[in-house]
Structure 1
Amino acid sequence: MSLPNVWHHRRVADSGAKACYVCYKPSTTVLITPDNKDHFYVCVGHLKDRGFCLPIVDEAEAAAQKKHQELEEEIEKVKKEYEEKQKRKAEKRKEKKKEGKGKDSKEKKEEGKSEDAEDAEDEKEKEDKIKELSKSEPKVEDAPRIFALQKNFHQMRLDRIRNAELARRNRERLNNPSLFPTVPSGDP
């Protein structure tokens, strides 16, 4: 039986934590083969250990991560522009208040309403831009998702699977009554 040395990183719920394959501490991180034939729990710290496994870099994933970073930068840029607009508007309001102390209250209320409407419109515009940018690309984790075990650990996993298969076959043989010899039926 050939088991490819490709392992995908998955997470389970905290209630599903089991002992780490290496250190036996509870872990919620699982390495699983793409065909779901084998899996084992391992600590996140062991995934960073070069003596245990090496990350397999996927070109498409790296490109997606780079695109995600650019998207985050663009969102930050939109937020900064919005904050600058708000500062400028606040400064203009202060200047208008200083100039408009002699105006009557009706004109002040109308100006205040128009400024509030502009603020609401700008706020909505900012939120729309951020939502649009966020929807365009799903979140990508920084940690690698695919690993290759070192040859000794991979061989241990192969031996474990092979031994489990042999034990299963032996159990089936022992449950089969035709395996044992029959009692002689003739006279001695």
Structure 2
Amino acid sequence: MALPFQNVYIHRKVAEASSKPCMICFRPSTSVLITSCQKDFFYICPSHLSDRGFATAIVDEAAEAEKRKKEEMDKELEKLKQEFEEKQKRKEEKKSKDKDDDKKGKDKAKVKEEEADKLKVEEEEKAKTEQAVEAPSFSEYNLHRDFFNIRQQKYREKQIAKRNMERLKNPFTFPAVPKGGPV
């Protein structure tokens, strides 16, 4: 018998308003496992996903390596930014010391500090938006054999129920009333 779908489920998040009970513990959950062909889906708690008896994660080594490389580059970029900011502060301090008018130097330093703070805030907001865009990196899972069989059985039951409802709606499914008289 052909399988209706493969045992590869993609983990996705839904909005809090769309949360439904977990398949196992019936607590509200925003995590959903869905097949790639979108024939089957169910809500599940993230804690159950880490259970080896329920599902095993399919690790994409290329994506993991790319993710690690990007994290390293981000760390290096942050270091460079901090070093640059420190150098700029040192230069500003030297300039303010050299000037005769400390008041003007302090005012300029304050303005430059405010500008630097604004730039930091903008950079943090950009980083947050980039992280929000990157968030939908979906993980793939293989369900344990027994849970996968349960999901297939439920899918088959739904298909049978659907077929039965279509048959009940069709008036030609039922036998006709006898037209002759009683014998």
TM range (shorter): 0.7 to 0.9
Q: Which residue, 36, 46, 49 being the options, matches 2:48?
A: 46
Unaligned 5+ runs, structure 1: 98-105
TM-score relative to the length of structure 1: 0.73
Residue 147 of structure 1 aligns to a residue in which SS?
strand
Task: Tell me the equivalent position of 1:146.
Answer: 140
Residues 16 and 30 in structure 2, CA contact (< 8 A), matched pair in contact too:
yes
Residues 8 and 31 in structure 1, CA contact (< 8 A), matched pair in contact too:
yes
Q: Which residue, 24, 27, 32 being the options, matches 2:26?
A: 24
Q: Which runs of 4+ in 1 moved over 4 A?
A: 106-144
Residue 153 of structure 1 aligns to a residue in which SS?
helix
Shift of 1:131: 9.6
- Give the partner amino acid of 2:29: S
Shift of 1:171: 1.7
RMSD (Å) for aligned C-alpha atoms:
3.7
Task: Tell me the equivalent position of 2:39.
Answer: 37
Task: Tell me the equivalent position of 1:155.
Answer: 149
Q: 1:27 to 1:126 in 2, by over 3 A?
A: closer
Inter-partner Cα distance in structure 2 for 1:129 and 1:17: 33
Residue 84 of structure 1 aligns to a residue in which SS?
helix
Q: 1:127 to 1:43 in 2, by over 3 A?
A: closer
Q: 1:40 to 1:90 in 2, by over 3 A?
A: same
- Give the partner amino acid of 1:22: I
Output aligned runs, 1:22-171, within 5 Å.
22-89=24-91, 91-93=93-95, 95-96=97-98, 140-141=134-135, 145-171=139-165
| Aligned length, in residue pairs | 180
TM-score relative to the length of structure 2: 0.75
Q: 1:71 to 1:133 in 2, by over 3 A?
A: farther
Inter-partner Cα distance in structure 1 for 2:107 and 2:147: 70
Q: 1:135 to 1:77 in 2, by over 3 A?
A: farther
Question: Relative to structure 2, which stretch is displaced further, 83-92 or 119-128?
Answer: 119-128
Residues 64 and 140 in structure 1, CA contact (< 8 A), matched pair in contact too:
no
Shift of 1:73: 1.0
- Identical-pair percentage: 39
